[in-house]
Structure 1
Amino acid sequence: MENKLNPEIKEMFSYLPEVIYTRENLNAKRNEMNEMFAGIAATLPANDAVLTSEKHVPGAEGDPDVRIKIYEPRVKEETLPGVLYLHGGGYILGSADMMDPTLQQLVSELDCVIVSVDYRLAPEHPYPAPLDDCYAALIWFSKNAEELGVDSSRIAVIGPSAGGGLTAAVSLLARDRKGPAIAFQMPLYPMIDDRMTSKSFNQITDRRVWNDEKTQFGWKMYLGDLDEGTQYAAPARATDLSGLPPTYTCVGDLDPFRDETIDYVTRLTQAGVPTEFHLYPGGFHGFEEYFPTAEISRRVVDGYKTALKRALHK
């Protein structure tokens, strides 16, 4: 894989450590990730133009309340579009807190209100708990849009990796349950196929990046006692993609999710869903977050920001 990397990120790739996830070390890895993102946030200047708050909103029936974080412009001159953000982490890692600087910046650039969901994680809370939390947050967001100064007909759902899988699943649920309208979905390099039989899945084995081994572990933890996923656990299994929101996605060609993303895009298009897709040569899973100053990383971020802005403000 290293010989195929984009030349700019190849120079920095050798500094990445090997990472293995197990049940035994998962809490420690979660703490490491949280500390890393907290450290990054501490080095950045405060964004005084954005208000950040948190609250707990009703979960699905019988479930605990869901913690969310709300990012909104300090000054609102008109009704704004909304974004429901679902963080990544293989269904086993991450939190709503880790994306504070990124989402504050996105609010400033796109003039929107963002609700980020601190959904429960597997294996302590396997499917459908994370998805139920995300869908409950969508329902709350839509019902409370006016209070937040948001146009409920202009709410997008976005997220990377496992957050991309949850994005695709939330869109399916909203369609099938005739739930809140979703104006746009952006599942970035999504984790959507628990069958793990694609060529790209088997090609990516380097432990310095998200690979086949980590993917297997993530799906095992997420599915719990299920022998295989349903279309809502693993949206690649959905046979009918018609009626889904207009979509934007992207993936690197060295990502284990490359082939399932391409297949998803193909079937969305065949189902009549307006879809934009970008494949980035020499990019591994989430490379733009590892090396944000690289030219190819800036292209990734500029690409999805442009698509989101167009969808929210058309």
Structure 2
Amino acid sequence: MTALDPELAAAIEAIEAAGVPEWHRLSVASARRVEDDVFTPDERRDVAFVRDLSLSGPGGDVPVRIYHDDPDRPAPMVVFYHGGGWTLGTLDSIGGVCRELAARAGCVVVSVDYRLAPEHPFPAPLDDAYAALEWTVETADAFGGDPEHVSVAGTSAGGNLAAAVALRARDFDGPEIAAQHLLYPMTDRDTTRPSYEEHGDGPLLTRAAVEWFWEHYCRSPVDAANPYASVLRADHADLPPATVVTAGHDPLRDEGRAYADALDDAGTPVEHRHYPSMAHGFLSLADDVAVADDALDAVAARVRSS
């Protein structure tokens, strides 16, 4: 096994020193406060255009934040879904990654603040995520975006939503999606894969936390088996070209790899980028970790070429 990158180990030590308990040992309200406090960056890359708006979703208004570093130039668009196990996460906590993508890829990023479980379990977050895709395509011109080049992307549970949105758009004759960028995605309810045995105690994500998140998201085993929730169980043919990023020290490693393999087996173009020395959530630490910085550049290049 490749050792944990020393720069990442130092960054994790600093996070743990901030006193972050395991998510499943907290109330949902406390976990949300801690996640927002610890993972919202203090310093932010300047982006020329940032605007908070809301779209009309199936369950009410859905807040979105638009990032565009060069508003005078038409650009590809990325609808971005934050992680947090469908339970945690905000526009602020993923803002650092969205700003970096907007600047590095020269794209318009539409970050989506979808409804969260357990108050709004499956399929409510997915319904919001899909509504945001439709809205982005319909309003692209207003932000200097190209409606013919709209991708979906997300981290962790947000990667799950991006994959599910692509499945739903295919199955229900939805908007054309240029690409899907799935960053250490949650793809299946099964937590018995070897990566859970190896890294079930973390760092940054544990098996217990993953199971806690799934319990909040899915109301029943029927929901958990639904291919729009456990996206690994879907048909993976005729989907948009994909980028799948996985980390060696991540309990989600094997299900991410399995998703890349399923796409490839079904004939969907996929690039699987694996980082053996990284852990879950590493792209948010690009300021402190050189490997993460390089990985974010690689994701931006894939977005730019979509």
Give the one of 247, 253, 268 matched to 1:252.
247
- Residues 1:234 and 2:230 are matched in the alignment: yes
Find the aligned partners of 1:11 and 1:34 in 2 and give their Cα distance.
21
- The answer to which of 106-115 and 253-262 deviates more is 106-115
CA contact under 8 A between 1:9 and 1:291: conserved in structure 2? no
CA contact under 8 A between 2:7 and 2:288: conserved in structure 1? no
| Runs of 4 or more consecutive aligned structure 1 residues displaced over 3 Å after TM superposition | 10-16
Q: Structure 2: which 5+ residue stretches go unaligned?
A: none
CA contact under 8 A between 1:81 and 1:151: conserved in structure 2? yes
Deviations 1:48-83 (A, max 9, x none): x522112221212xx212111112245413x32111
Q: Structure 1: which 5+ residue stretches go unaligned?
A: none
Give the corresponding residue for 2:49: 51
What is the total number of aligned residue pairs between the two structures?
302
TM-aligned CA deviation for residue 151 of structure 1: 1.8
Could you state the TM-score of these two structures normalised by the residue count of structure 2?
0.91
TM-aligned CA deviation for residue 138 of structure 1: 0.6
Find the aligned partners of 2:143 and 2:72 in 1 and give their Cα distance.
10
CA contact under 8 A between 2:24 and 2:209: conserved in structure 1? no
Letter in 1 for 2:62: V
Cα 1:306–1:10 shift into 2, 3 Å: same
Find the aligned partners of 1:259 and 1:208 in 2 and give their Cα distance.
16
Letter in 2 for 1:231: P
Deviations 1:147-176 (A, max 9, x none): 333221100101111110111000000000
Give the corresponding residue for 2:105: 110
Cα 1:143–1:23 shift into 2, 3 Å: farther
Cα 1:23–1:136 shift into 2, 3 Å: farther
TM-aligned CA deviation for residue 195 of structure 1: 1.9
RMSD: 2.1
1:211-222 matched pairs, under 5 angstroms: 211-222=206-217
Letter in 1 for 2:67: Y
- Residues 1:204 and 2:199 are matched in the alignment: yes
Find the aligned partners of 2:147 and 2:139 in 1 and give their Cα distance.
8
Find the aligned partners of 2:57 and 2:83 in 1 and give their Cα distance.
20
TM-aligned CA deviation for residue 14 of structure 1: 4.0
CA contact under 8 A between 1:50 and 1:107: conserved in structure 2? no
Give the one of 261, 275, 279 matched to 2:274.
279
- The answer to which of 226-235 and 182-191 deviates more is 226-235
Could you state the TM-score of these two structures normalised by the residue count of structure 1?
0.89
Give the corresponding residue for 2:177: 182
Give the one of 59, 64, 70 matched to 2:60.
64
1:1-314 matched pairs, under 5 angstroms: 4-17=3-16, 19-22=21-24, 25-38=27-40, 40-41=41-42, 43-44=43-44, 47=46, 49-60=47-58, 63-73=59-69, 75-77=71-73, 79-227=74-222, 228-238=224-234, 240-290=235-285, 292-311=287-306
TM-aligned CA deviation for residue 291 of structure 1: 6.1
Find the aligned partners of 2:69 and 2:291 in 1 and give their Cα distance.
29
- Percent same amino acid at aligned positions? 34
Find the aligned partners of 2:39 and 2:256 in 1 and give their Cα distance.
27
Letter in 2 for 1:25: S
TM-aligned CA deviation for residue 306 of structure 1: 1.5
Deviations 1:242-263 (A, max 9, x none): 1110011111111111111111
Find the aligned partners of 1:276 and 1:59 in 2 and give their Cα distance.
32
TM-aligned CA deviation for residue 292 of structure 1: 3.5
